Amino acid sequence: MILLVVPAVVLALMSLAAFFGRFVWWLDVLANFRVQFMVALLVMGGALLFSRFRRTAMAILAVAAINLAVIAPLYLGSPGEASPDSPSVRVMSFNLLSSNEQYGEVVDYIRATDPDVVLLHESSRPWETAMESSGLGYEVTRARSEDLIFGTLVMTKGSAGVLSYGFAEGDPRAVEVTTVVAGWETPITILSTHPLAPTDAERAALRDAQLEFAAEWASSQTGPFIVAGDMNATPWSWPFRNLVATGDLRNSQIGFGVQPTFAASSNPFFRVPIDHLLHSEQLRVRERWLGPPMGSDHFPLLVDLELVDSGSS
């Protein structure tokens, strides 16, 4: 059993160290794997209960419970009771993958799901051309500058005001969209963001700064607003938690579970939720689901939200 004790203790220590990701970038990367830590520690701790290492097993299971405690709110929380009479908006956020060429499949899926706002990340010139010529009836806005290979493509059913904050490596990598959804009297504002993947210390620092930009943006907003995109961070990552707290945002995952979005081609056990939609208190989630990958390494995220009656709690 000693061969099981050593990896179990190492995993337990790694999962605890990940709570200090605010201070060390690679510890924050470890925080993205809370679900995997929890499952592995439950299995190992359970197996060790039937050995002479019972005290070690109890300690391992206690750490598994700590990981469970930070995951459970996604399942035990509630988005609130939906009101069928309230006007709603459907937002789709999808990282296409820059090398993806499944244009027709994506067009067909958008047509079938009929989102009010579509945010397509890692969209290159071929994708821009495909969407503009798709006949879907959306207003299509290119957010990237001509010197960049790809950026975020914004598609709205109605007219929209679109402000790009830049998609170069050191830019905020975000675009602001203001539009009025059919049946709504008030406009809704969306910040679509796609921070860098934290693959080294420099990129992690840039990712954190880009999420900090989103947090500051959210804290300055009034009325109904959304922050959505491929954030390259899970709900347990420090910059994500800071974004939620600073921007006074609500996570659309609450009540719907983990719903991992990346990597679509990997074993489901190793997938993590890095594509998100956060929203202000004026909005409530009616439904949230993932679509098929359609040639990408991400699953598209679709969320239906409704305006909260000012008289409701």
Mean pLDDT of all residues in 114-120 = 97
Amino acid at 80: G
Q: pLDDT grade, residue 313 (50/70/90)? A: very low
What pLDDT score was predicted for residue 10? Answer: 96
Cis, bond preceding 64 (omega within 30 deg of 0): no
All structural domains of the chain, each given as residue ranges with its CATH number in brackets, are 2-71 (no CATH), 88-307 (3.60.10.10)
Residues 6+ apart with CB under 8 A from 296: 94, 95, 96, 97, 100, 102, 264
What pLDDT score was predicted for residue 31? Answer: 97
Q: pLDDT grade, residue 3 (50/70/90)? A: confident
Residue 249 reports pLDDT greater than 90: yes
As a whole-number percent, the residues of the chain with pLDDT over 70 amount to 98
* Pairwise CA distance, residues 151 & 295, whole Å: 18
* Pairwise CA distance, residues 149 & 291, whole Å: 26
Residue 287 reports pLDDT greater than 90: yes
The 10s digit of each residue's pLDDT in 178-226 is 999 888 888 999 999 999 999 999 999 999 999 999 999 999 998 899 9
Q: Is the dihedral of CA 71, 76, 79, 84 positive or negative?
A: positive
Count of CB atoms situated within 10 Å of the CB of 99: 10
The 10s digit of each residue's pLDDT in 267-282 is 999 999 999 999 999 9
Q: Is 239 left (phi over 0), alpha (psi -120 to 50) or beta?
A: alpha
C-alpha of 1 from chain center: 39
Question: Which H, E and C letters describe 75-104, residue by residue?
Answer: HHCCCCCCCCCCCEEEEEEEECCCCCCCHH
pTM for the full model?
Answer: 0.93
Structure-derived torsion over alpha carbons of residues 16, 21, 22, 26, reported in degrees to the nearest 10: 160
The 10s digit of each residue's pLDDT in 57-81 is 999 999 999 999 999 999 998 888 8
The 10s digit of each residue's pLDDT in 150-188 is 899 999 998 899 999 999 999 999 999 999 988 888 899
Helix (H, G, I), strand (E, B) or coil at 198: coil
Mean pLDDT score of the chain: 94
C-alpha of 106 from chain center: 19
Residue 119 has phi, psi (to 5 degrees) of -120, 110
Q: pLDDT grade, residue 308 (50/70/90)? A: confident
